Chains A and B, each alone.
Chain A
Amino acid sequence: MNVLRNAYIGQEVERIEDFRFLTGRGTFVDDYEPAGVLHAAILRSSVAHGRIVSIDSATALEIPGVHAIVTAADIGEQIPTIPIRLAPIAGLEKYLQPVIAREKVRYVGEPIAVILAESRAIAEDAANAIDLSIDSFDPIPNWRTAEIDKTLLFEQNRTNVAARYVVGFGDTDAVFANSEYSRREFFRAHRHTAVPMETRGVVAEWDAAKERLTVNGATKVTFFNRRALAAMLGMAESAIDLIELDVGGGFGVRGEFYPEDFLIPFAARKFKRPIKWIEDRLEHFQAANHSREIDCELEIACRRDGTILALRGRIFADMGAYTRTNSGVVPAKAAQFLHGPYRIPAVKIEVSAFMTSKTPVGTYRAPGRFESNFFRERLIDMAARDLGIDPIDMRRRNLIAATEMPYSIGKLVPYENETAYDTGDYQAALDECLRAFGWEEKKKMFQSRKIGGRYHGLGIACFVESGGAGPRENVRMTLEANGHVTIAVGSSVLGQGLETVFAQIAADAMSLPLESFHVLHGSTTIVDEGFGTYHSRAVVMGGSAILDGAKNLLLSIQNAAGLQFNCRPEDVTIQDGTVLGPDGHTSTFAALAAAVGPVSATGTFANNKRTYSYGAHAAHVSVDPRTGHVAVLDYVAVEDIGRAINPALVHGQTFGAVVQGLGGVFLDHLIYDDNAQLLNASLADYLLPTATDFPNIRGVTMQLHLSPSNPLGAKGAGEGGMVAVAATAANAVAAALAEFNVQPNELPLSPPSVWGLIQKSNTLRI
């Protein structure tokens, strides 16, 4: 880092992208409308599990303005399936989703037909006019029904259990057999999802003359998606460009390859017209990935002094109806992150993934981590209470020490190598959290007390979180004739402010003002290869690639100046945007580029080691025993992310993640009935946090331990604010209701569920 002058890195510079958003000049996918466009609506299954008997489009096609209706019959003999991008757990590949249903439907919302019309309203009218007949089968509304295998979602696979494996190390069973203390509990994380403000959308354009396809509305992993689409359409990758416009939030859900990412480009090529599809909110709830629905039986073995000896558990994951691009991440990472930031000598986790007749599952911010942190940190609190140990002391006793880093957690994921936490002082983060929260004072005043009719409690949880997924990221940097530098990146933008952060890194690396940089992203043509934005990797991987690109661009500028000055490149020195040669030759970057033309260089950063951020959260809640309502009176999230490029943006990530997490604890809930019908697919019924729900959120960003994996020393910063929220909030609720011995082990902690726990405990006491 000493090569950088640090004028911008670490500064809260105002975002470059804000001007266009604040003045209404952004271009989100529905803002883009090419001439001659046809609008698409999608007819989806209203039945959770069944067989399509007939699709009669005759009446719908008679509606003025309707151009065509595409069904599986129009796609061809082989209906393409959507490939796995991440987490190839053996078995999941037998449950891939076809891009459109031909015979069977397996969840409410599965695409059956695509209607193309002059306007979206007419297309929707036509969708309603299609006469669709489906024979209903028994639904599979949960994993317990799936496990029985009485009704099969995929008959040819002969089971609904898509995968089952065991990971671990140490002689776990022997440790449990001989332990002084052990406790087993059953936990449940409920189905909910990201719900970005902008729904998905695809605008596909077919250039018949050049036989080229342009697909607007892509994001996150555009290069992977282009490869998948090219294979499905039988086209060369180079004949397709995926374009990322402004993106209204991702959080894991948006930007994965969905059926519509095939259907709309297919229609554009078939009918040689631009086709636009904008998901409505109902569709979004039914069609975009769900997440989080994991049950867990977890056991802990300890010495009487609270030293953890072993962890043993079983993960039961409801995967929904199909394996999508990253479905396996959810159970696999839930299993891996059960270990958490603690020294645990023996671990054994069995993972089972079940197919049910519900919307398929994929990642949502902190996938698997949010769930498993809740399971483990609840269990630690319960064990501490059994053992008569302060829950904070119990954590201190077991947190991995800074001197033990790097700390291997072995191979807890079947498709990954052994991994190790990179750096960190987990105790220091816990201490900082307690200090910032004012734990000791609050404990005296509030812990487990009844004040004004409400029960108060404090909760704490520690976490560790991975980021910075490899393998590579690439940039191309060009000094333009006007003296500005364009940075073309393979990273994607989902609203986090990468245009600013990347410019900050480049400005320091090249000793130029921030205003000199223009970040280009969102096209699969501007760089040869890119890996995108997920797993908190954009700054770690893309930012490090920019350091490499800046270094190479400065070398290219030196070479260009050498030719211009007629001297050896090594005799050229560069200082703050000026090249200096021997004999008093001097030129600004702008003058040089004006003379010799644009100067370009590429940069790359390859790395397969993850970054591991870590920290602790603390909460103060009060519970109304008459209603079960929980008020969050104070919340502090502390995370060490190594290096914060722009602290204001990091804080924004923390606040946003904590409030999303609290929504996931108290509000968000995708409710299905026994027929696997989603009951609350609207924003009126699916509750999201609003400005009045969680007003007391504080975040502390630590920069204690750089990551050794990348030259910036940065660790992923987008998801740590989410990981520990359920655990922290639930521990606080348990502390508040200690006199009832209420153990909130199932999410969500909605008023009825908390009220129910209190009632149940009262009944038991009588």
Chain B
Amino acid sequence: MSARKYVKLNVNGKPYEANIEARTTLADCLRHNFKLTGTHVGCEHGVCGACTVLVDGLAVRSCLIFAVQAEGMIITTVEGLSSGNTLSPLQAAFRKHHALQCGFCTAGILTTTHALLSNEPDADANRVREVLSGNICRCTGYVQIIDAVLDARAAYKQGPESGR
């Protein structure tokens, strides 16, 4: 059977720890051990993008790395994109443009586009579509998502973390 391992992870600025099977993916660890269920799992093989989280600022599929590999890294999930009862500018733009329907893919799309705009606040529609082509949404047809991301760009132009 699978060996067990004690992991300590930094998620959304807080320390988390759990005794897990070594084969546990970061996605499953976040969801089932840390109860951070905002990150969703749609395919478990890195295609759909729903489970995307930020690892040291990069958009990473949390179903494709083991939790034990993420030790020592800074992890941000959708729960960490805003605090309390506020929405980040990106989240607010999604709401304004009706860029989500069922909400299942939304976490991965937010983390992916947050990483993009943090690095490229001037990304144009083609660039946004190119980066988002790794995230599948079955509800929206992507049109209103692109509108929302383009609208949110202004908030990122004051610096890498300004979109928070």
Residues in chain A within 8 A of chain B (CB atoms): 12, 14-15, 17-28, 30-31, 33, 63-64, 119, 121-122, 125, 194-199, 246-249, 251, 280-281, 494-497, 648-649, 651-652, 655-660, 682-684, 688-695, 697
Contact = CB atoms under 8 A, between A and B. Distances in A.
Contact of A194 (B21, B48, B85, B138): B138
Contact of B103 (A26, A121, A682): A26
A604 B48 CA distance: 41
Contact of B138 (A12, A18, A251): A251
A347 to B, nearest CB: 34
Contact of A64 (B1, B37, B79, B135): B1
Contact of B42 (A19, A198, A659, A697): A198
10 contacts: A12-B98, A19-B85, A19-B95, A22-B91, A281-B42, A651-B144, A660-B141, A682-B43, A688-B136, A688-B138
Contacts of B18: none
A197 B145 contact: no
Given A30-B40, A197-B136, A655-B142, 4 more contacts: A22-B100, A23-B87, A281-B44, A496-B101
A690 B87 CA distance: 26
Nearest to B38: A24
A497 B100 CA distance: 9
A753 to B, nearest CB: 23
Rank and list the top 7 A-B pairs by shortest CB-CB distance, nearest first: A24-B38, A495-B102, A21-B103, A248-B104, A659-B141, A655-B141, A24-B78
B129 interface: yes
B73 interface: no
A697 to B, nearest CB: 6
Contacts of A689: 141-142
Contacts of A659: 140-143
Contacts of B5: none
A199 B102 CA distance: 13
A249 B104 contact: yes
Contacts of B132: 690-691
A651 B39 contact: no
Contacts of B100: 18, 21-22
Secondary structure dominating the interface of A: loop
Contacts, number: 184
A210 B130 CA distance: 55
Nearest to A496: B101
B133 interface: yes
Contacts of B104: 28, 196-198, 248-249, 495
B2 interface: yes
A658 B144 CA distance: 13
B95 A18 contact: yes
A649 B100 CA distance: 10
Q: Which of A24, A495, A660 has the most CB of B within 10 A?
A: A24
B47 A121 contact: no
A655 B45 contact: no
Interface stretch (B54-62, B64-72, B105-113, B153-161): B105-113
B43 A691 contact: no
A648 B98 CA distance: 7
Q: Which of B1, B38, B82, B138 has the most CB of A within 10 A?
A: B138
B142 A24 contact: no
A280 B137 CA distance: 17
B9 interface: no
Q: Which of B31, B100, B132 has the most CB of A within 10 A?
A: B100
B26 interface: no
Contact of B130 (A195, A196, A197, A692): A692
A197 B137 contact: yes
Contact of B94 (A22, A27, A247, A657): A22
Interface residues of B, number: 60
B102 A494 contact: yes
B144 A652 contact: yes
B3 to A, nearest CB: 13
B102 A248 contact: yes
Contacts of A195: 138
Contact of B102 (A27, A63, A198): A198
B133 A692 contact: yes
B144 A655 contact: yes
A656 B50 contact: no
Given A23-B79, A658-B141, A688-B136, A196 B41 contact: no
Nearest to B80: A24
A656 B110 contact: no
B2 to A, nearest CB: 7
A30 B50 CA distance: 14
A751 B13 CA distance: 48
Contacts of B48: 197, 683
B89 to A, nearest CB: 12
A125 B2 CA distance: 10
Interface in B86-129: 87, 91, 94-98, 100-107, 110, 125, 128-129
Given A24-B37, A197-B136, A655-B143, A33 B32 contact: yes
Contacts of A247: 102
A345 B12 CA distance: 67
A501 to B, nearest CB: 12
Contacts of B38: 23-26
A247 B102 CA distance: 6
Nearest to B102: A495
A652 B140 contact: yes
A388 B24 CA distance: 65
Contacts of A495: 101-104, 139
B77 interface: yes
A132 to B, nearest CB: 22
B75 interface: no
A88 to B, nearest CB: 30
B103 A246 contact: yes
Given A248-B40, A683-B43, A14 B129 contact: no
B107 A24 contact: yes
Contacts of B37: 24, 27-28, 30-31
A22 B95 contact: yes
Nearest to A693: B133
A604 B85 CA distance: 36
A503 to B, nearest CB: 15
Given A23-B91, A64-B1, A280-B44, A694 B141 contact: yes
B87 A649 contact: no
Contacts of A122: 1
B40 A198 contact: yes
Contact of A249 (B21, B32, B138): B138
Nearest to B32: A33
A656 B141 contact: yes
Nearest to B107: A24
A692 B44 contact: no
Interface in B1-53: 1-2, 21, 23, 31-32, 36-45, 47-48, 50
Contact of A651 (B87, B98, B133): B98
A682 B45 contact: yes
B101 A497 contact: yes
A162 B29 CA distance: 48
B150 interface: no
